[in-house]
């Protein structure tokens, strides 16, 4: 029977074209798995403390720094949970997803900042209270303003055209604990529209938040070296 099927596809150009088309579609879907969450321009960054993120950076998205802010003056940073404010969160399933992503993002921020080694101590405020001390401390807080799962089916078949994409955005503010002043704000947005057969929506969102945490740690490391926020095109050649 298998030999007969092969003979049919060779004998009939239409059948052969259909067969090759299905194979091509399958390979395209599989190959698309190598593309995950990608950076996108932040949507309507939230102002805080007189600052609005409006300077583009290759790692942190959009940023704004208070005059005189020097991250090297802060050996301690405390990371709070980010509530989800996206109005698309409506039912119980949405709220469970929002709560899980909020917890996940906080833990990834803590992990990435600890790995980065920029701060002597990184406090997870979901696990312990911040105890007052002599060290200057930053408090990292904010909100998740965009949280959309999109459609896995739409991504699988029309992801190349932007259909069904998952989206995530976090607006962050860094506060000098001693003075209460907002010293820096950022807004980072990620989208995911491809993956193996469209990719699992929750996996896309987790990848987005992990990438945000990783890139924020990179940005803070660059600030500590005296670099200003910049895109790749703006960075001076060495």
Task: Return the CATH number at 214.
Answer: 3.40.50
Question: Given phi > 0 = left and psi -120 to 50 = alpha, else beta, which region is 13?
Answer: alpha
- 212 three-class SS: helix
Please tell me whether residues 41 and 70 are part of one structural domain.
Answer: yes
Please tell me whether residues 215 and 111 are part of one structural domain.
Answer: yes
The Cα 112–Cα 209 span in angstroms is 11
Please tell me whether residues 10 and 93 are part of one structural domain.
Answer: no
Please tell me whether residues 161 and 73 are part of one structural domain.
Answer: yes
What is the extent of the structural domain holding 148?
Answer: 36-224
- Residues in CB range of 72: below 8 A, 6 or more apart: 224
Please tell me whether residues 165 and 49 are part of one structural domain.
Answer: yes
The Cα 144–Cα 206 span in angstroms is 13
Please tell me whether residues 70 and 97 are part of one structural domain.
Answer: yes
Please tell me whether residues 26 and 50 are part of one structural domain.
Answer: no
Q: Which of 171, 186, 174 is nearest to 56 (CA)?
A: 186
Please tell me whether residues 29 and 121 are part of one structural domain.
Answer: no
Q: How many domains does the chain have?
A: 2
Alpha-carbon distance values, 32 to 164, 198, 212 (Å): 14, 8, 22
pLDDT in tens, 121-178: 999 999 999 888 889 999 999 999 999 864 443 434 333 434 356 899 999 999 999 9
- Establish if 103 belongs to a structural domain: yes
Confidence of residue 17 (pLDDT cuts 50, 70, 90): low
Please tell me whether residues 26 and 123 are part of one structural domain.
Answer: no
91 vs 14, higher pLDDT = 91
Look over the chain and give the mean of its residue pLDDT values, rounded to a whole number: 82
- Establish if 104 belongs to a structural domain: yes
- Establish if 235 belongs to a structural domain: no
pLDDT in tens, 23-40: 444 444 444 444 567 889
Would you say the pTM of this structure is higher than 0.85? no
How would DSSP label each residue in 90-149? -SHHHHHHHHHHHHHHHHHHHHHHHHHT-SSEEEETTTSPPPP-SS-EEEEEEEEEEEE-
Confidence of residue 12 (pLDDT cuts 50, 70, 90): low
Look up residue 170 and give its two tokens: 């976090």
- Establish if 237 belongs to a structural domain: no
The Cα 213–Cα 121 span in angstroms is 17
pLDDT in tens, 45-85: 999 999 999 999 999 999 999 999 999 999 999 999 999 99
């Amino acid at each position: 029977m298998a030999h007969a099927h092969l003979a049919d596809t060779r004998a009939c150009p239409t059948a052969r074209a259909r067969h090759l088309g299905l194979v091509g579609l399958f390979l395209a879907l599989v190959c698309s798995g190598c593309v995950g969450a990608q950076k996108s321009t932040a949507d309507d960054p939230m102002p805080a403390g007189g600052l609005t993120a409006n300077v583009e950076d290759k790692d942190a998205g959009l940023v704004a720094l208070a005059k005189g802010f020097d991250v090297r003056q802060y050996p301690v940073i405390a990371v709070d949970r980010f509530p989800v404010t996206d109005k698309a969160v409506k039912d119980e399933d949405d709220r469970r997803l929002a709560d899980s992503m909020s917890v996940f993002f906080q833990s990834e921020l803590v992990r990435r900042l600890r790995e980065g080694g920029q701060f002597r101590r990184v406090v997870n405020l979901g696990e312990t209270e911040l105890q007052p001390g002599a060290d200057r401390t930053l408090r990292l807080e904010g909100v998740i303003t965009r949280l959309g799962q999109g459609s896995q089916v739409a991504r699988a078949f029309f992801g190349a055209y932007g259909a069904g994409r998952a989206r995530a955005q976090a607006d962050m503010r860094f506060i000098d604990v001693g003075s209460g002043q907002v010293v820096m704000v950022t807004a980072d947005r990620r989208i995911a529209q491809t993956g193996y057969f469209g990719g699992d929506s929750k996996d896309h969102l987790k990848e987005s938040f992990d990438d945000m945490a990783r890139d924020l740690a990179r940005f803070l490391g660059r600030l500590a070296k005296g670099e200003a926020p910049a895109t790749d095109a703006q960075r001076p050649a060495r």
